[in-house]
Structure 1
Amino acid sequence: MDFRFTEDDHTFRTHARTWLDTHLAETPAPTPRAWERELGQEGWIGLGWPEDGGAGYGNRTATLTQQVVWAEEYARSTAPTRMGHIGENLLAPTLITYGTEEQRRRHLPPVARGETLWCQGYSEPGAGSDLAGIRTTATPDGTGAYAVTGQKIWTSLAGDADWCFVLARTEPGSTRHHGLSFLLVEMDQPGRIEVRPIRQMTGTSEFNEVFFDGARAAEVVGGEGNGWAVAMGLLALERGVSTLAQQIGFAQELDQVVAAAKESGAAEDPVVRARLVRQWAELVTMRRHALRTLGTTGDPGAPSVAKLLWGGWHQRLGELAVQVRGPAGAVGPRPWGPEHPYELDAAQHLFLFSRADTIYGGSDEIQRNIIAERVLGLPREPR
């Protein structure tokens, strides 16, 4: 596609940058929920959603290039990490594609206003990358709804979410991709839903275990038994404009690693210097790939290629971030003990967290299988 920014795009960029600078200066450390509402009040949530005949869902419409502009400017600013990503970029496009108009009217406006947060109930113990092996069940409860029972794991932001979209087995005795449904579950159900934070080696707890014990789900997206198609459609939507914003963050991290290499003298080592140049060249390649595939649809390999590219790249950057600092890379930013708990600096956090990059969101092995089987037409692996 011809991906050049127009004069209108440059005007839009100036407006977005000015708004971000002004509002972040007025409220330098807003709470995550307050910041979501502030974005929603100005229509910055859901830029890519359709107008729906002019009515819209409370969002600001924008062209594809303007969506990229906003994502880039947001990533370049010092704005807080978004808590509404899952609702805006995963749930909303899925409802727009597979949901009913009633579902869209109920759920999209609160997301656009920054009032409702969502989490994703996909992975389970024993069914992570192999999502077709899920065992969570949903049975009719006699009221036209379902009673959901089972366990989900690695559920980002579950402790803050108001709703969860859950992939569950609605057909008793079904296996693999069959008999699954995509359900919408309200999280405020005491005694029926329990969220347990998972403490990671970085010391943070973005991920959670979620236990459902007869939790009520009154809505199915895409029809009963069609959950696999809806779930796979959602995963394809996951790697779009947000990928370009992610790459802006990667570029900022790379700049910090280069600066650390210069400060420590590691940049004088030709091997280290070559690795830094390679990281830069690969990042440029990833951006070109993202731009080339941004306007395409129906290509099952594009999301998998993107995930393979950035997962390994970011992991190697984390290794470099610690390596270029030499022995200092293994030492915390301050003395530690009972009165001073050990803390990770940015480079150490990058190194530890990026170890998971080739696993979460679909492991590298799964992505290679998708490319081999669905794009290249190679025979499936024997089970």
Structure 2
Amino acid sequence: MSAIQTSDSVTGTPEGTSTVSGPTGDDRRFAAEIREWLAENLEGRFRELRGLGGPGREHEAFDERLEWDRHLAAAGWTCLGWPARYGGRDATLAQQVIFHEEYAKADAPARVSHLGEELLGPTLLAFGTEEQKQRFLPGIKTVTELWCQGYSEPGAGSDLAAVSTSARLDGDHWVINGQKIWTSLAHLSDWCFAVCRTEPGSARHTGLSYLLVPMKQPGIEVRPIVQLTGTSEFNEVFFDGARTEAGLVVGAPGDGWRVAMGTLTFERGISTVGQQIRFARELADLEAVARSTGALDDPVLAERLDRAWVGLRVLRAHALRTLESAHETVDARTAAGQASVSKLLWANWHRGLGELAMDVLGAPGLLARDLDGGNPGELNEWQRLFLFTRADTIYGGSNEVQRNIIAERVLGLPREAR
């Protein structure tokens, strides 16, 4: 029997919690524990944070959400799947899924420490030295050091192998020059994990290294990028003689491609089940709007809402199956294919939801003002969803790149002409 069982619900109701086979009931008790803790703690000064934050909305109550993250950490609710010796709880895969589902169902605020906890932390556990683990994992666990990801560049967006930002050894330091772009929350981060070219003359996947770089230093300039939504959670980062210690390379110098691919696999991991519950809430809210405005009487829109619900079920089934296989021994091609399929599924579904939202709103959706009579020029939640989800199929690896990965590395088809 599967360790994780899909439920009959993707709407975030209690019946939708993933369950674990076995007679002990440990996981049901675990679910009850986190559900009770969230109910008790999302009150008082944290009550107003419910539903805040997330992609396109990272500007919302950032300082307060940081305080919430540290409150979670103090109670032992961060880094659950990490080994206990590094501050985790040795939580099972099913328990980690349960946590993310219960967290999303409670409408708890989006985490500000996602990049450290969900991406860099697992990367250090898999590829880092013991010294690196001892240095950086505690700060991630307690949310006292925030991280950003230095992958994309102006000439190397989804094509990570084309990065040109250079790093050369100068005594006991790497000296870094170049530019990164679309760097989420760089203006608020203490550290960056960056892929740099450390072997002059190398090309493509060779000669890259995965460096840990302090952000608060001379030689680093962060410039915000204003998005369609009017917010600026993305940034350009310029490195001009920035430095980091020689020992802060994860994996061997020149082995950065393998480590970076490992990070991308973690990025599309357990937290996606919580993401899907948030998607389900958006869909349910949109259906309520359609019902209240009469748009649900349009058979075409009603069918599209039904198809969106079916698509969400597909996302969940694929995520749970992929999570289980991730804990088995799979070859690199299989892992790459699973990660790419996952990105294609959720990104296209969510972009489609943004388009559906605009069609449900109809002509009023073209006016930049709150549907309830807010300030002129102010986007409502559906307009913001539509505008931001235009980027879902681009960031984190564009649709074109994901399809090329599946075609070339999984199916073995001829490489695309360059």
Report the TM-score range of the alignment, normalised by the length of the smaller protein.
Answer: over 0.9
Q: 1:365 aligns with which of 394, 400, 408?
A: 400
- State the distance in 1 between where 2:267 and 2:340 align: 11
- State the distance in 2 between where 1:33 and 1:215 align: 27
> In the alignment, which residue of structure 2 is the partner of 1:242?
271
Say yes or no: does 1:42 pair with 2:75: yes
SS at match of 1:155: coil
Q: 1:80 aligns with which of 99, 109, 113?
A: 109
Q: TM-score, normalised by structure 1?
A: 0.95
Counterpart residue identity of residue 173, structure 1: G
SS at match of 1:309: helix
Counterpart residue identity of residue 187, structure 1: M
Counterpart residue identity of residue 192, structure 2: C
- State the distance in 2 between where 1:254 and 1:228 align: 37
How far is 1:17 from its partner?
1.3
Counterpart residue identity of residue 80, structure 2: L
* 1:110-121 alignment, distance < 5 Å: 110-121=139-150
> In the alignment, which residue of structure 2 is the partner of 1:379?
414
Q: TM-score, normalised by structure 2?
A: 0.87
How far is 1:176 from its partner?
1.1
Residue pair 2:209, 2:253 contacting (<8 A) in 1 also:
yes
Say yes or no: does 1:3 pair with 2:4: yes
Say yes or no: does 1:314 pair with 2:343: no
Where do 5+ consecutive residues of structure 2 fail to align?
6-18, 50-63
> In the alignment, which residue of structure 2 is the partner of 1:170?
198
Cα deviation, 1:344-376, whole Å, max 9, x if unaligned, reads 111101000000111010000111111111111
Counterpart residue identity of residue 179, structure 2: Q
Which piece of structure 1 moves more, 220-229 or 288-297? 288-297
* 1:234-383 alignment, distance < 5 Å: 234-297=263-326, 298=330, 299=334, 300-334=336-370, 340=375, 342-383=377-418
Say yes or no: does 1:204 pair with 2:237: no
- State the distance in 1 between where 2:27 and 2:366 align: 44
Quick one: percent identity of the two aligned structures? 57
Say yes or no: does 1:186 pair with 2:204: no
Residue pair 1:43, 1:113 contacting (<8 A) in 2 also:
no
How far is 1:118 from its partner?
0.5
Q: 1:334 to 1:221 in 2, by over 3 A?
A: closer
Q: 1:11 to 1:361 in 2, by over 3 A?
A: same
RMSD of equivalent CA atoms: 1.5
Q: 1:340 to 1:317 in 2, by over 3 A?
A: closer
Give every structure 1 segment of 4 or more consecutive aligned residues whose post-TM-superposition deviation is greater than 4 Å: none
How far is 1:329 from its partner?
1.4
Cα deviation, 1:95-127, whole Å, max 9, x if unaligned, reads 111110110111011111111110000000010
How far is 1:43 from its partner?
1.4
* 1:16-95 alignment, distance < 5 Å: 16-27=34-45, 28-29=47-48, 31-51=64-84, 56-95=85-124
Which piece of structure 1 moves more, 244-253 or 295-304? 295-304
How far is 1:334 from its partner?
4.7
Counterpart residue identity of residue 209, structure 1: E
SS at match of 1:201: coil
Residue pair 1:315, 1:355 contacting (<8 A) in 2 also:
yes
> In the alignment, which residue of structure 1 is the partner of 2:57?
none
How far is 1:26 from its partner?
2.6
- State the distance in 1 between where 2:255 and 2:215 align: 23
Where do 5+ consecutive residues of structure 1 fail to align?
none
How far is 1:177 from its partner?
1.0
Residue pair 1:165, 1:185 contacting (<8 A) in 2 also:
yes
SS at match of 1:296: helix
Counterpart residue identity of residue 241, structure 1: I
Say yes or no: does 1:150 pair with 2:178: yes
Counterpart residue identity of residue 29, structure 2: T
Q: 1:334 to 1:94 in 2, by over 3 A?
A: closer
- State the distance in 2 between where 1:372 and 1:270 align: 37
Say yes or no: does 1:216 pair with 2:246: no
- State the distance in 2 between where 1:100 and 1:341 align: 54
How far is 1:264 from its partner?
1.2
Which piece of structure 1 moves more, 358-367 or 291-300? 291-300
- State the distance in 2 between where 1:323 and 1:270 align: 13
Residue pair 2:369, 2:375 contacting (<8 A) in 1 also:
no
- State the distance in 2 between where 1:35 and 1:57 align: 21
Counterpart residue identity of residue 18, structure 1: E
SS at match of 1:202: coil
- State the distance in 2 between where 1:350 and 1:195 align: 26
Cα deviation, 1:111-164, whole Å, max 9, x if unaligned, reads 11111110000000010011111110001122x110111110000011111110
- State the distance in 1 between where 2:241 and 2:109 align: 35
